[in-house]
């Protein structure tokens, strides 16, 4: 009887942790992983970790309980069969990792997901994956900001250089005379 109590406490702790995970992340992707080997899963987890994405395999029943009352509750209907959940704070990263890995290993089948309260089907996840990530957008924004600043600095320095050349020319003229 004591073992059943421990299992129930472990399950409640797991559900609580999973619920906070769902609440803290911007996007969640659900995929079937049937047929993936252990080394395939390790490769997926490694690729996900490099992109700032977490991958978790959870019992569907416990995951559905954890989803109750969260923004991403719409993915509950996708939790059938051997499913894994990929999630990240970057709205695009989880979708990119799942779609990219599914391209190289057809045994990973992306079912759908959610971005905030918006439910996504397979095509929605694919579209989300094609968008630039937050880091890529930040880099583009910095590039856009730096471009005009560099041009302004060049323009500010150009008149001074021209003036110096004019003064040098007059000095040469005076020396020649």
Angle (nearest 5°) at CA 75 between 73 and 81: 130
End-to-end C-alpha distance for the chain, whole angstroms:
112
Check if the beta carbon of residue 20 is closer than 8 Å to that of residue 89. Answer: no
Check if the beta carbon of residue 134 is closer than 8 Å to that of residue 92. Answer: yes
What CATH number matches the domain at 2-131, 3.20.20.70, 3.40.190.170, 1.10.540.10, 3.30.70.1730?
3.30.70.1730
Q: Report the pLDDT value the prediction gives residue 113, as an integer from 0 to 100.
A: 92
What is the mean pLDDT for each group of 10 consecutive residues in the chain (177 residues)?
68 89 88 92 94 91 89 90 91 91 92 88 89 74 70 63 70 73
Percent of the chain as helix, strand, coil, to the nearest 5: 65, 15, 20
Q: pTM, whole model, 2 decimals?
A: 0.70
Q: Report the pLDDT value the prediction gives residue 138, as an integer from 0 to 100.
A: 73
Domain assignments of the chain as residue spans, ordered by start: 2-131, 133-177
User: Cα–Cα distance between 1 and 81 in angstroms, integer?
Assistant: 30
User: Cα–Cα distance between 51 and 74 in angstroms, integer?
Assistant: 25
Q: Report the pLDDT value the prediction gives residue 155, as an integer from 0 to 100.
A: 60
User: Cα–Cα distance between 146 and 64 in angstroms, integer?
Assistant: 47
Q: What's the order of all strands across the beta sheet hosting 27-32?
A: 54-57, 83-88, 27-32, 109-115, 118-121
Helix (H, G, I), strand (E, B) or coil at 77: helix
Q: Report the pLDDT value the prediction gives residue 26, as an integer from 0 to 100.
A: 78
Give the DSSP H/E element, type plus range, for residue 147. helix 134-176
């Amino acid at each position: 009887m004591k073992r059943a109590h421990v299992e129930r406490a472990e399950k409640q702790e797991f559900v609580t942790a999973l619920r906070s995970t769902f609440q803290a992340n911007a996007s969640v992707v659900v995929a079937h992983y049937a047929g993936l080997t252990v080394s395939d899963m390790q490769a997926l987890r490694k690729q996900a970790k490099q992109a700032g994405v977490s991958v978790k395999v959870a019992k569907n029943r416990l995951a559905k309980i954890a989803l109750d009352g969260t923004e991403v509750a719409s993915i509950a209907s996708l939790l059938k069969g051997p499913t894994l959940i990929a999630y990240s704070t970057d709205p695009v990263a989880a979708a990119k990792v799942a779609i990219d890995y599914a391209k190289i290993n057809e045994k990973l089948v992306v079912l759908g997901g959610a971005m905030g309260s918006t439910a996504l089907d397979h095509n929605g996840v694919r579209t989300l994956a094609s968008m630039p990530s937050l880091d890529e957008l930040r880099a583009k924004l910095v590039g856009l900001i730096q471009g005009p600043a560099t041009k302004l600095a060049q323009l500010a320095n150009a008149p001074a250089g021209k003036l110096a050349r004019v003064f040098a020319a007059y000095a040469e003229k005076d020396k020649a005379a």
